[in-house]
């Protein structure tokens, strides 16, 4: 997963024009590092693929909601896809105009819906008739009429990890086609919403475009009798090249497969991973090396609390030395200090001889990394650093032990 941003110079790992050993020395580890250049290149690639379809790109905040990164992507002209009032709050704080935000999510609370209506959010992706009823009532009370897209569960099995497949009938997401047809036929029951679109998102890290095309077709057939329902949000899911996924199609292949369907439609997409995953790396330091059961264990100061994807999704992220380490390579289990056997960053990383203090980079961790970080085992969450050319800056500081106490201390004083 090395790319033009994370690359080697004289054998050592750099991000753009910054040597990562020096950056880690200055900030400490574990630390997330993001490349502004790679983010821009990923946005350009998506634009090249989807601009010809007239698609509006809404960056999926769930992938990485750092304020500076939101600002960067907003500056690049992207709208946002939020799945909670917290994400909306962040986006608004980063300067995003509310009408550029779509609000998705299977279980929005009435308070969240009210907040979003009051903020003037552009689109609501609605996932149940009960939610539609609640939204309609709240909108009526406010004398507003928000745009709504019903999320269709098209009943397709996306080829991806079962935890991130969302378009099959066993999943909690969306509404089955029969129910969407029924609601569309009774649109007049909901006079306070402008039910003008349909939404499909069948999963993340999709191995091929076919199922997305099938889902889009299902949605279009449902909208066919209603000429004013011509917005189609096809979600995100465009994959990145983790270990074993190198041959997966890029956004261009998805756009090419969808293009023949989409003439006359207002198209939206909600990519997250394909914008930010390979623009980020988690730097960790080796604490100890030991051999057990015939395996070499490289124990690092980074763990599942910084990056849960290997434990949660069996994700395989490349782990590479940061310094210029030479010598014979053999497989190692790279693991963290957390008291869980699942706390493994990579079960089979080809690495040279490693010693305490050596640093490693876990690549492809810009998406679903920091946003899923936790304080389990009372570990502080790591800082985030943004690299732009030869410059870098901390865009979120490392938490402190006092941060770990703060919310309970505040509760004590009330």
Ligand X SMILES: Cc1ncc(COP(=O)(O)O)c(C=O)c1O
Q: Decide if residue 63 touches ligand X (CB under 6 A).
A: yes
Q: Is 260 helix (H, G, I), strand (E, B) or coil?
A: helix
**Please, what is the angle between helix 67-75 and helix 36-50, to 10°?**
40
Contacting range for ligand X; rule: CB under 6 A; set: 18-26, 236-244, 245-253, 372-380: 236-244
For the record, the structure tokens of 201 come out as 């998102």
For residue 365, the minimal CB distance to ligand X (Å) is 13
Active site residue 339: yes
Pick from 21, 18, 22: nearest CA to 36: 18
Angle (nearest 5°) at CA 44 between 38 and 46: 105
Contacts of 358 (CB under 8 A, 6+ apart): 285, 286, 321, 322, 323, 325
The Cα 156–Cα 154 span in angstroms is 6
Q: Decide if residue 268 touches ligand X (CB under 6 A).
A: no
Pick from 104, 132, 338, 349: which binds ligand X (CB under 6 A)? 104
Pick from 287, 313, 300: nearest CA to 372: 313
Between 233 and 285, CB nearer to ligand X: 233
For the record, the structure tokens of 283 come out as 């730097």
Q: Is 201 helix (H, G, I), strand (E, B) or coil?
A: coil
Between 60 and 346, CB nearer to ligand X: 60
Q: Decide if residue 273 touches ligand X (CB under 6 A).
A: yes
Pick from 204, 300, 303, 305: which binds ligand X (CB under 6 A)? 204
Pick from 330, 323, 384, 389: nearest CA to 357: 323
Pick from 81, 112, 278, 301: which binds ligand X (CB under 6 A)? 81
Question: Residues 339, 378, 390, 411: which is the catalytic one?
Answer: 339
Q: Decide if residue 365 touches ligand X (CB under 6 A).
A: no
Q: Count residues contacting ligand X (CB under 6 A)?
A: 19
Q: Decide if residue 317 touches ligand X (CB under 6 A).
A: no
Q: Is 165 helix (H, G, I), strand (E, B) or coil?
A: strand
Q: Decide if residue 60 touches ligand X (CB under 6 A).
A: yes
Pick from 38, 201, 268, 317: which binds ligand X (CB under 6 A)? 201
Q: Decide if residue 236 touches ligand X (CB under 6 A).
A: yes
Q: Which sequence positions are flagged as catalytic?
A: 339
Report the interface residues with ligand X, using CB under 6 A. Answer: 60, 62-63, 81, 104, 164, 201, 204-205, 235-238, 270-274, 367
């Amino acid at each position: 997963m090395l790319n033009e941003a994370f690359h080697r110079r004289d054998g050592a790992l750099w991000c753009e024009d910054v040597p990562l050993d020096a950056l880690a020395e200055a900030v400490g580890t574990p630390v997330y590092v993001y490349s502004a250049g790679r983010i821009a290149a990923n946005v350009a690639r998506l634009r090249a693929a989807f601009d010809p379809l007239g698609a509006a790109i809404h960056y999926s905040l769930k992938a990485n909601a750092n304020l500076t990164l939101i600002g960067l992507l907003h500056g690049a002209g992207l709208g946002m896809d939020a799945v909670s009032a917290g994400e909306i709050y962040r986006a608004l704080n980063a300067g995003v105009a509310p009408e550029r935000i779509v609000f998705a999510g299977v279980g929005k609370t009435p308070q969240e819906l009210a907040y979003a209506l009051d903020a003037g959010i552009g689109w609501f992706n609605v996932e149940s008739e009960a939610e539609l009823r609640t939204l309609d009532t709240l909108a009526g009370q406010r004398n507003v009429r928000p745009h709504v897209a019903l999320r269709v569960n098209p009943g397709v099995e996306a080829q991806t990890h079962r935890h991130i497949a969302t378009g099959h009938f066993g999943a909690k997401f969306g509404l089955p086609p029969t129910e969407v047809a029924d609601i569309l036929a009774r649109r007049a029951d909901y006079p306070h919403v402008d039910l003008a679109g349909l939404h499909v998102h069948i999963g993340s890290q999709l191995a091929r475009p076919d199922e997305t095309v099938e889902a889009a077709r299902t949605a279009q057939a449902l909208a066919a009798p209603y000429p004013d329902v011509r917005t189609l949000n096809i979600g995100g899911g465009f994959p990145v090249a983790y270990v074993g996924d190198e041959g997966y199609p890029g956004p261009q292949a998805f756009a090419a497969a969808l293009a023949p369907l989409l003439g006359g439609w207002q198209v939206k997409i909600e990519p997250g991973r394909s914008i930010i995953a390979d623009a980020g790396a988690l730097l960790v330091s080796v604490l100890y090396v030991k051999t057990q059961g015939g395996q070499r264990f490289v124990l690092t100061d980074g763990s599942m609390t910084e990056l849960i994807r290997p434990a949660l999704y069996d994700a395989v992220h490349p782990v590479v030395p940061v310094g210029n380490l030479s010598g014979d390579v053999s497989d190692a289990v790279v693991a963290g200090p957390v008291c869980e056997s699942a706390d493994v960053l990579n079960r089979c990383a080809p690495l040279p001889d490693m010693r305490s203090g050596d640093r490693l980079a876990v690549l492809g961790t810009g998406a679903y990394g920091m946003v899923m970080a936790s304080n389990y085992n009372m570990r502080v969450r790591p800082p985030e650093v943004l690299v732009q050319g030869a410059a870098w800056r901390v865009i979120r500081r490392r938490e402190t032990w006092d941060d770990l106490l703060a919310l309970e201390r505040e509760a004590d004083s009330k």
